[in-house]
Amino acid sequence: MVIFIGIVFFLAAAYTSLFFFNFKGTPIYGVSFDPEYASYLLPNAGEGFLAVINDWNFKYIRLPAHWDQVEKTRGKYDFSDIDWYVDRAGDNDVKVMLALGQKTPRWPECHIPVWAKDLPHSVYREELKRYISATVEHYKNHPALEFWQVENEPFLGFGSCRPMTVAEAKEEIELVKRLDPRHKTILSDSGELSLWGKSANVADLFGTTVYRKVWNKYVGVWSYKFLPASFYRFKLWLADRAPVEAFIIELQAEPWIAKHINESTPEELLSFVDRAVIQNNISYAQKIGLPRVYLWGAEWWYWLKLKGHNEIPDYIATLNRVP
């Protein structure tokens, strides 16, 4: 009993001590943008993307090359849609992190072509690698390309996906590096639901998510405000990963609620995430002290702007304002 009490006391003291560490820095701000999701949410996805570049002056953008969009028909690769976005980035001196793999940003997490879903696993893996190879070959010499994100939270059991092993993730990363040794790779993991033991050292760089307030079907609204900012630095230390080699790849700047955004009113959504919440999330991210922070929610910000709610869009415009 004494030992148990001692362990509890030690853990409580260790947890409390995390609140006293402050690694505050001045990160570079980037943003994620998914043309497929933007097409669902907005009347004109391209117009929303140009707002990200021109109105909000983001110079670092994460774009997905979803497998089910690139290869709708087996063996036929169509990059025309994503080309437009990467080309506009290049025209405006914007650097792109291009995400590829079976699991890429935005719901349903795994963007797998219909024709590939029931393939035997060995065949499925070969087809996945062919799509990865085709994507790398297509974009590796594009002047806008900065990084390859290979898989998005591949070891997290979220979304309807085939499980992925560390060996399989490494195989994909090695394939990308062999085809394009000039651009670094990055692999991501959940900041709140993983200790990063399998993920932190697989690629050249590591990306973590940072979510502060979410909804799930079991408990409803759940807050992570009990986690100190140094929690993420502590996990990097445990994983022996240098902070300069880690990014916040998704910082929550949109609501995570039970309904789709298009099924909700602006007032409902702003009661979950408003300007003050985003400011607090950004302040929290600064205390983590990683060199780059990619915000999550650009499509929603533009949706708000179209509906006449400009408080968040106007605030976002100040983040990268040139003095």
Among 88, 105, 101, residue whose Cα is nearest residue 142 = 88
CA dihedral 115, 116, 117, 121 (to 10 degrees): 150
The fraction of the chain above a pLDDT of 70, given in percent, is: 92
> What is the structure's pLDDT at 3?
44
Q: What is the pTM (predicted TM-score) of this model?
A: 0.94
Q: How far is 156 from 188, CA to CA, in rounded Å?
A: 10
Give residues with Cβ within 8 angstroms of 267, minimum separation 6. Answer: none
pLDDT tens profile 275-323: 999 999 999 999 999 999 999 999 999 999 999 999 999 999 999 865 4
Nearest of 23, 58, 60, 62 to residue 186 by alpha carbon? 62
Stretch 26-38: mean pLDDT:
97
- pLDDT tens digit sequence for 99-142: 999 999 999 999 999 999 999 999 999 999 999 999 999 999 99
Mean pLDDT for the chain? Answer: 93
All domains of the chain, ordered by start, with CATH? Answer: 25-319 (3.20.20.80)
Band (160; pLDDT cuts 50, 70, 90): confident
Greater pLDDT, 38 or 7: 38
291, 296, 297, 301: CA torsion to nearest 10: 0
pLDDT tier, 249 (very low <50, low <70, confident <90, very high otherwise): very high
